[in-house]
Amino acid sequence: MTDPHAIQPSALDQLPDRDPEETAEWQASLDAVAREAGPHRAAYLMRRTLERAEAGGIALPKLLETDYVNTIPTSAEPGLPGDPEMEARITAWNRWNAAAMVTRGSKYGVGGHIATFASAAWLYETGFNHFFKGKEGDGSGDQLYIQGHASPGIYARAFLDGRLNEAHLDNFRQEAGGNGLPSYPHPRRLPWLWEFPTVSMGLGPLSAIYQARFNRYLTNRGIKDVSASHVWAFLGDGEMDEPESTAALALAAREELDNLTFVINCNLQRLDGPVRANFKIVQELEAQFRGAGWNVVKTLWGSAWDELFQLDTTGALVRRLRQVPDAQVQTYQTRDAAYIRQDFFGADPALVEMAKLLSDDKILECFHLSRGGHESRKVYAAYKAAVEHKGAPTVILAQTVKGHTLGEGFASKNANHQMKKLSVDEFKAMRDLLELPIKDSDFVDGVVPYGHPGADSPEVRYLQERRAALGGPAPARRTHALAPLPAPAEKAFASFDKGSGSQNVATTMAFVRLVKDLVRDKETGKRWVPIVPDEARTFGMESLFPSLGIYSPKGQTYEPVDRDQLMYYKEAENGQILNEGITEAGSMADFIAASTAYSTHGEAMIPFYIFYSMFGWQRTADQMWQLGDQLGRGFLVGATAGRTTLTGEGLQHADGHSPVIAATNPAALTYDPAFAYEVAVIVREGLRRMYGEAKPGEDQDVFYYLTVYNEPLPQPAKPQGLGIDQGIVKGLYRFNTAESAGVAAPADAPRIQLLGSGTAIHWALEAQKLLAGEWGVAADVWSATSWTELRRDALEADAALLRGEERVPYVRQALQGAEGPVLAVSDYMRQVPDQIAQWVEQDYSSLGADGFGLSDTREAARRHFGIDARSIVVAALAQLAKRGEVRATAVKEAREKYGL
């Protein structure tokens, strides 16, 4: 059995010891210190030695945790510029109005959060007064990712500087009337204020990293120099449990994103209780970020603790702070001095002696009030260290008290996240604590008043002067008057009109070929941002590698193994492709940053993100909702789409439902094109709508979702006739009739309308031949490029009718006069084509791939789901038999004939 106390071998044992005697002397010295001065002293010396080695650039494993003290000691803090007393008064007003806003709204039951901003007020105020660059100066300003639950405090500050009025505050979370404030940062709801939606926890941190990275991308590619912009992400320590919060930490460190700072408000509480009740979340996060390569600044204790640390000549205080779990720290916040003396100081004889030198008031000041995140000097020192640090991103771990200044009923209580109001007496106590000039008589009928020192008060003048010096108001979203991008040459799109002849081409390849032509455009080519999560070769994009290059801030520091090949793997500092590795979430964060650059940086970029369709909406639909909220524009491309086209991959790769999820997003225009020319028409229309000349009343803040297929098939020529392009864009047009297809049945033959989308139209075309040749049925085939857009148009028509306007849904117009029943089919679950059922006047039925996917050939999978050509024939005959237009026995005969 291995001796657990024995020194275990390490990697160092594999290296020759050039001087064993010297090594033994060092080890003996350590043993002597541990024996004579105790193990704590030995550990202290080792930590200091490791820190010295790290500072001197000596290659050693990093020290992942430091003591539970401030990274920047009081003696090393820079002087606080500005007027601290003025900033304290401003912060007091903001605290008051944030609490008043939520309390006044509570009578309507709309909710709100008070405790988060109460803990973080100084984290924001210090930034607004000294660091956060606005958008009226040079460049793009800073990008601020505000913690969602702190929004009342941001509104309160906007009220103080005149950007909001009392009516706005009284309509917090009451938006239907048109003058309200959204609950959280929602750019779509308040587009002049909010830039980034953050309340879907975990997405803010992830997006902030990729935004900082995209800023570098724009600079390195010469689109715009945004090197002066800094990205600030404000997070909660509980939010760090979300996997997205830490998913890209290594990327930020690897690419040395020193234009990024995380500020984590460590109030030690989640929504319902402690974040790490039996552990220490600050230490855990420090180790996690240090291990990922970040610069870590801990701002834990306020100045009241300086006296205690000076008395700690044995290190007992620092050791005890490391031992006490977070939940016990919260308990100290609510207990008297006697309890703290016994439980905290009583744990060590040295601390017992220290406590004898401290008054009860001093103990309560330290354990109830004094936290680093509540002192502007401490916060300023941390922020200054962050922006001056080079070569790595910085995380600031700021300890605060949740519910600070809100009274004993709030501070550190487990339920404070759900507590929505203060009583009048609690407000009066808060007023006295904050020393605000609000009179008892201002509380009319028990309603708490808003407080404002006056538009020309010293506080407001100071606030506005500080913001003017930093480049204008913040947070703020800028709407740029951008000139429409010129349309690419028509040749790129028209080349698909003639079809592929005898060559089999998948629509995935058609899309890539189209993009390859568009990125060559002299006017707009550089604005395309191709994004792919590591499977570019799967989608046939390797031809773009040498011509566009893969973005890497380091360039290419190696010789690629395929350098002698035409399509070699080329990385470049100014590369255009974002090849993200196996991270759909990271790729979506890329897309969001690129798709909103028109606002963030005043530069219209055209992102297209191509991915396995199954791993798009199913995995990252929350980010796609975030994209819609952030008013992003661009092309999402679900490749290898459909439940039966990706042969052999099986259940988790077989996408039969992404259009269903996409249909739930109001900003997503979802298309399932069947042919290459349809892809071209849709992309051309998307470029016009999002980046070109918008039509009156047209919403440009949309994004397109296209499904494309990996099934090589002949691409037909674009049909001739009026309205084809319009039909493609609107979602439906007649591709052919039985007569134009050359499969005409007898003149009196029963007729049916076959609607197909994506690859399913090929089965419909085969069924069209079988119906005519074997059953005497004439079928017309329609291409349904977008079931979702057809439904939305119909919903709008219904709404217009309720307003007294006469309007007929497009789907009804398109099918008007079409003979016989309608049978719709797609490679997705029936719910997708069934979106339009209620607006089709003809008898309507559908086929689809419901259920889990499976591994097999395409033919076998389609037979399994009953959507192949022969299954379509049987379903069509059943529809006609029900109407008495074919004999009833035909259905049974067809089933037996086709082996169904």
Long-range contacts of 408-412 (CB under 8 A, 24+ apart): 408/334, 410/114, 410/115, 410/118, 411/333, 411/334, 411/368, 412/268, 412/269, 412/330, 412/333, 412/334
Q: For residue 1, name the pLDDT band (cuts at 50, 70, 90).
A: very low
Is the predicted pLDDT of residue 806 greater than 60, yes or no?
Answer: yes
Q: For residue 409, name the pLDDT band (cuts at 50, 70, 90).
A: low
Is the predicted pLDDT of residue 43 greater than 90, yes or no?
Answer: no
What pLDDT, on a 0 to 100 scale, did the predictor assign at position 38?
84
Q: Report the half-sphere exposure of 147 (CA within 13 A, side-chain side).
A: 27
**At 732, which amino acid appears?**
L
Number of other residues whose CB lies within 10 A of the CB of residue 419: 17
SS3 454: coil
What pLDDT, on a 0 to 100 scale, did the predictor assign at position 36?
87
What pLDDT, on a 0 to 100 scale, did the predictor assign at position 411?
61
- How far is it, in rounded angstroms, from Cα 122 to Cα 381? 13
% of the chain surpassing 90 pLDDT: 81
Please answer whether residues 453 and 92 qualify as being in contact, where contact means their C-beta atoms are separated by less than 8 angstroms: no
Please answer whether residues 40 and 315 qualify as being in contact, where contact means their C-beta atoms are separated by less than 8 angstroms: yes
The DSSP annotation for 192-253 comes to TT------STTHHHHHHHHHHHHHHHHHHTTS---TT--EEEEEETGGGGSHHHHTTHHHHH
Closest CA to 585 of 188, 201, 210, 234: 210
Q: For residue 414, name the pLDDT band (cuts at 50, 70, 90).
A: low
What pLDDT, on a 0 to 100 scale, did the predictor assign at position 8?
45
**At 875, which amino acid appears?**
A
Is the predicted pLDDT of residue 20 greater than 90, yes or no?
Answer: no
Q: For residue 4, name the pLDDT band (cuts at 50, 70, 90).
A: very low
Is the predicted pLDDT of residue 329 greater than 60, yes or no?
Answer: yes
Q: For residue 91, name the pLDDT band (cuts at 50, 70, 90).
A: very high
Closest CA to 265 of 250, 279, 282, 278: 282
Is the predicted pLDDT of residue 725 greater than 90, yes or no?
Answer: yes
What pLDDT, on a 0 to 100 scale, did the predictor assign at position 689?
97
Q: Over the stretch 458-499, which tens digit does the pLDDT of each residue have?
A: 999 999 999 999 999 999 999 888 899 999 999 999 999 999
Q: Over the stretch 548-564, which tens digit does the pLDDT of each residue have?
A: 999 999 999 999 998 88
Sequence-ordered strand ranges (E) for 812-889: 822-825, 844-847
What pLDDT, on a 0 to 100 scale, did the predictor assign at position 19?
87
SS3 668: strand
Q: Over the stretch 647-667, which tens digit does the pLDDT of each residue have?
A: 888 888 899 999 999 999 999
Q: Over the stretch 667-683, which tens digit does the pLDDT of each residue have?
A: 999 999 999 999 999 99
Please answer whether residues 587 and 614 qualify as being in contact, where contact means their C-beta atoms are separated by less than 8 angstroms: no
What pLDDT, on a 0 to 100 scale, did the predictor assign at position 13?
57
Average confidence (pLDDT) over 279-286: 97
Strand partners, 145: 233
Average confidence (pLDDT) over 207-227: 98
Alpha helices in 376-481 (DSSP H): 376-388, 424-434, 458-469
Average confidence (pLDDT) over 825-831: 97
Please answer whether residues 738 and 780 qualify as being in contact, where contact means their C-beta atoms are separated by less than 8 angstroms: yes
Q: For residue 3, name the pLDDT band (cuts at 50, 70, 90).
A: very low
Residue 746's Cβ-count burial label (10 Å; 0-12, 13-18, 19+) is exposed
- How far is it, in rounded angstroms, from Cα 552 to Cα 149? 36
Is the predicted pLDDT of residue 233 greater than 60, yes or no?
Answer: yes
Is the predicted pLDDT of residue 271 greater than 70, yes or no?
Answer: yes
Please answer whether residues 132 and 144 qualify as being in contact, where contact means their C-beta atoms are separated by less than 8 angstroms: yes
What pLDDT, on a 0 to 100 scale, did the predictor assign at position 827?
97
Return the minimum-mean-pLDDT range out of 36-45, 116-125, 302-311, 593-602: 36-45
Give the burial string for 663-678 (b: 16+ CB within 10 Å, else e): bebebbbbbbbbbbbb
What pLDDT, on a 0 to 100 scale, did the predictor assign at position 378?
98
Give the rounded distance of the alpha carbon of 727 from its chain centre.
34
- To the nearest whole number, what is the mean pLDDT of the chain? 93
* pTM flag (> 0.85): yes
Q: Tokens 């698909």, residue?
A: 496
- How far is it, in rounded angstroms, from Cα 676 to Cα 678? 5
Average confidence (pLDDT) over 32-45: 85
Average confidence (pLDDT) over 263-267: 97
Q: For residue 417, name the pLDDT band (cuts at 50, 70, 90).
A: low
Please answer whether residues 393 and 359 qualify as being in contact, where contact means their C-beta atoms are separated by less than 8 angstroms: no
Terminal-to-terminal C-alpha distance of the chain: 66
What pLDDT, on a 0 to 100 scale, did the predictor assign at position 418?
53
What pLDDT, on a 0 to 100 scale, did the predictor assign at position 479?
86
Token representation of residue 591: 């897309």
Whether omega before 475 lies within 30 degrees of 0, making that bond cis, reads yes
Is the predicted pLDDT of residue 738 greater than 70, yes or no?
Answer: yes
SS3 of 242-284: CHHHHCCHHHHHHCCCCCEEEEEEECCECCCCECCCCCCHHHH
Dmax over Cα atoms in the chain, in whole Å?
A: 109
- How far is it, in rounded angstroms, from Cα 590 to Cα 582? 13
Is the predicted pLDDT of residue 419 greater than 70, yes or no?
Answer: no
Is the predicted pLDDT of residue 5 greater than 90, yes or no?
Answer: no
**How many residues appear in the chain?**
900
What pLDDT, on a 0 to 100 scale, did the predictor assign at position 2?
44
User: Which one has a higher pLDDT value, 874 or 334?
Assistant: 874
What pLDDT, on a 0 to 100 scale, did the predictor assign at position 650?
86
What pLDDT, on a 0 to 100 scale, did the predictor assign at position 260?
98
% of the chain surpassing 70 pLDDT: 97
Return the minimum-mean-pLDDT range out of 103-117, 303-317, 501-515, 764-778: 103-117
Alpha helices in 776-857 (DSSP H): 787-802, 810-815
